[in-house]
Amino acid sequence: MAHNEFFTLAPALAADQTLSPTLAINQRVKELWAAGEQVYHLGFGESRFPVHPKIRAALIAHADAKSYLSSLGIPELRAAVADFYTKRMGVEATPDRVIVAPGSKPLLYAFQMALAGDTILPTPSWVSYAPQARLLNRSVLRIPASPADEHRLTADALRQTLAQSSEKQHILILNSPSNPTGQMLAPELLAEIAEVCRATHTLVLSDEIYALTAHGHQPHVSMAHFYPEGTVVLGGLSKHLSLGGWRLGVAIVPPGAAGQQLLAAVNKIGGEIWSCVSAPVQYAALAAYADDPEILAYIAECTRLHAARTQHLWRGLCELDIPCARPDGGFYLYPSFDGWRGALAGAGVFTSDDLARHLLDKWRIATLPGTAFGSPPDELSLRLSSSYVDMESDAQAAALLARHRSGVDADALVRDHHPALAGALGNLRAFLASLHE
Ligand SMILES: Cc1ncc(COP(=O)(O)O)c(C=O)c1O
């Protein structure tokens, strides 16, 4: 509804005020749970581990910090982030290139607002990039990719998409490891993409928020390593430290005068919209970015469990012959059900939206449809998340961690103490068997 008797909505919101698909599915699962239904929740991506005690103590110790702070972030935190990225993430950073904000999401929005040009997105890509661009009345061009090639991004496909833009400058948003596919962009590909970007005046917003959740079989390499002059690196505490609700995101702009001009523009947006990150959270973040061996060990421990859970789900899909790229990091998978298209049509399923609905209604498996990530509606891809199953409550998450610490190896933990994950795979098997009847 674009207008009523009292007001008219702004054009960017008049056509679409639907809730983000992630929030909508979560709402529906909660309703089913409240009605006593067993639902396997593979629809919501949220790292669920407890707050690290040192970070918790830092937050409590600064509860009295109540003044407004600089919209760039406190100097100590900007310095800590720069050191951490230089030492741990392979991004040579200096404090004057860092800005912090209430999450990387508002930073992604602010950078899109600050820069001219079309937004270029791989397909599939995270749910919020395209809606943010639409709110800003920016054009989005999608780089096509096929499930047959595991949706792999190529420099050629990027080149072809850029050729369709009539703008002088372009903004490419990369996300490695990826939500929704879990894939990392290999260093050779990043080097090729850097060449294309240099030649076409394309700036990269490199969303590396899952970098510290790499599963270990492939190291994470930042796009800034190949394209320092044109890459903004984004990250935060939401994933590797399970602090999504604390709202702390960081960005590092390119070195030099151009980077400073961009930082000033984003800082202006931050200053006019969110003012600053909550003061106690900034002091807690100081502990998180202190390069403290205890906290680094905790990040590695949580990542080990994410990896075991996600790789287990991936192996389960492989055993069912469901095509799916092997995830390299994070807690997502993006399987394709295109091979069952004929049988699914018989069940009234023609699109990924239909498929997600069917799986929830008939098989009590919550997923997100590929359409939420920009895949064409008739491509039968779904995003599965391993992060919520068997960690539906904070108590369950803490209990799993405690069991792991008592000496149960991560793989054994997933095999023997993950009834919901086993149930979800069992229902998937039954669903596929029903299609062959
Ligand atoms: C790829 C990606 N980028 C950014 C975000 C936003 O994270 P935050 O705003 O909590 O920093 C998310 C959260 O789901 C994500 O999956």
CA gap 395, 399 in Å, rounded:
6
The confidence score (pLDDT) of residue 18 equals 74
- Quick check: CB of 45 below 6 Å from ligand 1? yes
The confidence score (pLDDT) of residue 106 equals 98
CA gap 364, 39 in Å, rounded:
5
Is the distance from CB of 172 to CB of 158 less than 8 angstroms?
yes
Atom of ligand 1 nearest to the CA of 108: 4
333 secondary structure, DSSP code: E
Q: Exposed, middle or buried by CB within 10 Å (0-12, 13-18, 19+), for 188?
A: exposed
- Quick check: CB of 182 below 6 Å from ligand 1? no
Write down the number of H helices and E strands in the chain: 16, 12
Query: The domain at 11-49+295-436 falls in which architecture?
Result: Alpha-Beta Complex (3.90)
pLDDT in tens, 120-172: 999 999 999 999 999 999 999 999 999 999 999 999 999 999 999 999 999 99
Atom of ligand 1 nearest to the CA of 102: 9
pLDDT in tens, 199-236: 999 999 999 999 999 999 999 999 999 999 999 999 99
Q: What are the residue ranges spanned by the domains of the chain?
A: 11-49+295-436, 57-291
Tokens of 95: 């404090």
- Quick check: CB of 103 below 6 Å from ligand 1? yes
The confidence score (pLDDT) of residue 25 equals 80
| Average pLDDT for the chain | 95
Taking the centre of ligand 1 as the mean of its atom positions, its distance from the CA of residue 166, in whole angstroms, is: 30
- Quick check: CB of 238 below 6 Å from ligand 1? yes
The confidence score (pLDDT) of residue 412 equals 93
Q: Is 57-291 a CATH 3.40.30.10 domain? A: no
Is the distance from CB of 375 to CB of 339 less than 8 angstroms?
no
Among 22, 239, 247, which is best to mutate for testing ligand 1, by the most ligand atoms less than 8 A from CB?
239
Collect the ranges in the chain with pLDDT lower than 50.
none
Among 25, 26, 81, 104, which is best to mutate for testing ligand 1, by the most ligand atoms less than 8 A from CB?
104
Identify residue 368 by its one-letter amino acid code.
L
- Quick check: CB of 253 below 6 Å from ligand 1? no
Atom of ligand 1 nearest to the CA of 330: 16
